[in-house]
Amino acid sequence: MLRVADHAARTDTGRQRPANEDSYFASLPLFVVADGMGGAQAGEVASRTAVEFFTDGLPDGPGTPEERLAALVARANARIHELASSDDAFAGMGTTLTAAYVGEHDLAIAHVGDSRLYVLRDGALTQLTDDHSLVGELIRRGQIRAEEAEEHPQRSIITRALGIEQDVVVDHHTWPVRDGDVVLICSDGLTGMVSDARVAEIVSEAPSLSVAAQRLIAAANEAGGRDNITVILFRLEDVGSIGGGGGSSQDTTEHDAVTAPGTTEVGGAAATEPATAAGAAAAGPATAVAAPPAQPSGRRREPRAPRPPREDGRRRRRVPVGLLLGFFLVVAILLSAYYASQTVYFVGTSNDGFVTVYRGLPYDGPAGVDLYSVNYLSGVPVSELPAGQRRLVTEHKLRSRDDAQDLVRQMETGALRSS
C-alpha cells in the first residue's frame, strides 16, 4: 500500500509579474496546481475557483479515482465558464489545472493546459502530462524539437484551458508509482525557466522536499522569473499491507512567509483549511455608478425686485444665467462623449508588454485622464507576435467587444494567421 511520506508546496510571484495568479491545493492524498490567465483579478479568480472544487477531497461515487478526478475538473471548467460569461470583468478568463490523487497502488492524474506533472525515479525525471500548448502540439507532430520549444516566440500560447469553452477535454490516466518515487506538480513559471535536467538535479540533491521546493523557485527567479512559479512535491512510500494512517508529513507553503501545514495558496494569499471554509465565491470588482447631474429647470422665474443692501453693506453675488447654462452644456457634452466611448473597444499593449483589450478610446483625455480602461489582459507578449499580428495590436482600431476579444483569443490559441 502506498502513502505520502512527505510533501511540500511553495508559490512565488516571480520577478516580472505584478501579481500571483497561480493557486494550489495540497492536502494528502490530493494535490492540485492551477495557473490562471486573463490578467489582473480575472486570472486569480479562475485559478482560485478551480482549486476550490477540490477542497472537500475526491467525492465518493461510481467510477475509478481517475474518472472522479476528471469529473471534478469538468465541473470546475463549467463554473469558470459561467463566471466568465456572466461578468465583463471576467470575460476570457481561464486557467490550467493539473491534479493528482494518491491511491493504494497507483497515482490518478487529471490535466488541462501546460502546467505539468513529473515523476522522479532513480534520478530520472519523467513528464507524465502533455502540454496543451502551441509548441507542445508542434513537438508531438515532430515539427520542432523540445530544445527549440524553449525559445519559440509563441511558447506562451496554450491550446486548452478551463473556462474558455462550456465543455473541455480532460486528459486523465493512472500511473503505477512505487516506493521512493517523488512527484512534482508545477506551473510553467518553473518549466519555462529551468530545464528538466536541472530540476531533477535540484530535487535529487536537496536534503528535504521543503528545501527542494525552495531551491526550484530560486532557480526559476535567477533565470529571469518571467511568470508566477508554483511547486508541489511529494514522496511516496510503500507500507505493505499495513492499514492506512497517514504518518506525519511536512507541508511548507511560502509566498512571502512560511505558513501552517495544510493550506491552500490562492493567488498569493494563503487561506487556512479546513476545506469547508475555503469555498467562498470570488466576488467581482465593485462598480461605482455616477448619478446624472441635476438638470436645470425648464420653468422661467418671474423677475424679483432688487433686495435692499444688507446692513453690513454687502450684496449677494449672482451667477449669470448664460454662464450657468453653458457650464451644464459642457458637462452634458463631456458625459455624452464618455458614455459613447464605453461602447467601443480596441486592442493594445499593457504597461508590461502583453496584448490587452481596452474599453474606450485610445486617447488621453484632459488633465491626463485616460479615455480607456482594461477589459481583458492576455498572457501573450507583444514582442513574441509575428510582425503582421503586432500591427493589429499597435494600430488601435476601434472594434466591438466581441471582435476585440475574439482577435486576442485567436492570438492566445495560435489560430490567427499572420497577415
pLDDT above 90 for 298: no
Q: What is the mean pLDDT of residues 369-388?
A: 80
Distance CA 10, CA 222 (A): 16
Q: What is the mean pLDDT of residues 372-376?
A: 83
Residue 363: which H helix or E strand, with range? strand 354-364
Identify the pLDDT of residue 353: 84
- Which of 140-144, 183-187, 377-381 has the weakest average pLDDT? 140-144
Preceding omega of 59 cis (within 30 degrees of 0): no
Q: Indicate whether 198 pLDDT > 90.
A: yes
Q: Read off the pLDDT of each residue in 280-285 and give the average, rounded to a whole number.
A: 34
pLDDT grade, residue 245 (50/70/90)?
very low
pLDDT of 246 strictly over 90: no
Average pLDDT on 122-128 reads 96
Q: Copy the grid coordinates of residue 65.
A: 479515482
C-beta of residue 133 within 8 angstroms of C-beta of residue 71: no
- Hey, where are the domains in the chain? 2-277, 320-419
How confident is the model over 160-191, as pLDDT tens digits? 899 999 999 999 999 999 999 999 999 999 99
Range scoring the smallest mean pLDDT among 66-80, 117-131, 186-200, 359-373: 359-373
pLDDT category of residue 146 using cuts at 50, 70 and 90: low
Lowest mean per-residue pLDDT among 244-253, 279-288, 293-302? 279-288
Percent of the chain with pLDDT over 70: 69
Nearest-angstrom CA–CA distance, 98 and 113:
8
How many whole angstroms separate alpha carbon 254 and alpha carbon 100? Answer: 21
Looking at residue 144, the DSSP 8-state letter turns out to be: S
Distance from C-alpha of 352 to C-alpha of 53, rounded to nearest angstrom = 32
pLDDT in tens, 29-65: 999 999 998 755 689 999 999 999 999 999 998 999 9
In the predicted model, is pLDDT for residue 230 greater than 80? yes
pLDDT, residue 92, reads: 87
Instruction: Report the pLDDT averaged over residues 135-139.
Output: 66
| CA pair distance 147, 138, nearest whole angstrom | 12
Closest CA to 378 of 26, 43, 16: 43
Please report the pLDDT score of residue 163 as a whole number: 94
Q: Judge residue 218's burial from the number of C-beta atoms within 10 Å of its C-beta, 0-12 exposed, 13-18 middle, 19 or more buried.
A: middle
Give domain 2-277's CATH superfamily.
PPM-type phosphatase domain (3.60.40.10)
> Cα(52)–Cα(409) distance, rounded to whole angstroms?
26
* pLDDT exceeds 80 at position 128: yes
What pLDDT is attached to residue 46? 95
The pLDDT score that the predictor gives to residue 361 is: 84
pLDDT of 365 higher than 70: no
* 386 pLDDT higher than 70: yes
* Between 243 and 149, residue with greater pLDDT: 149
What is the reported pLDDT for 271?
A: 36
* CB distance 371 to 117 below 8 Å: no
Q: What is the pLDDT of residue 402?
A: 81
Residue 8 pLDDT > 90: yes
- What average pLDDT does this structure show over 313-323? 50
* Cα gap 380→48, rounded to integer Å: 21
Residues 243-252, mean pLDDT to the nearest whole number:
38
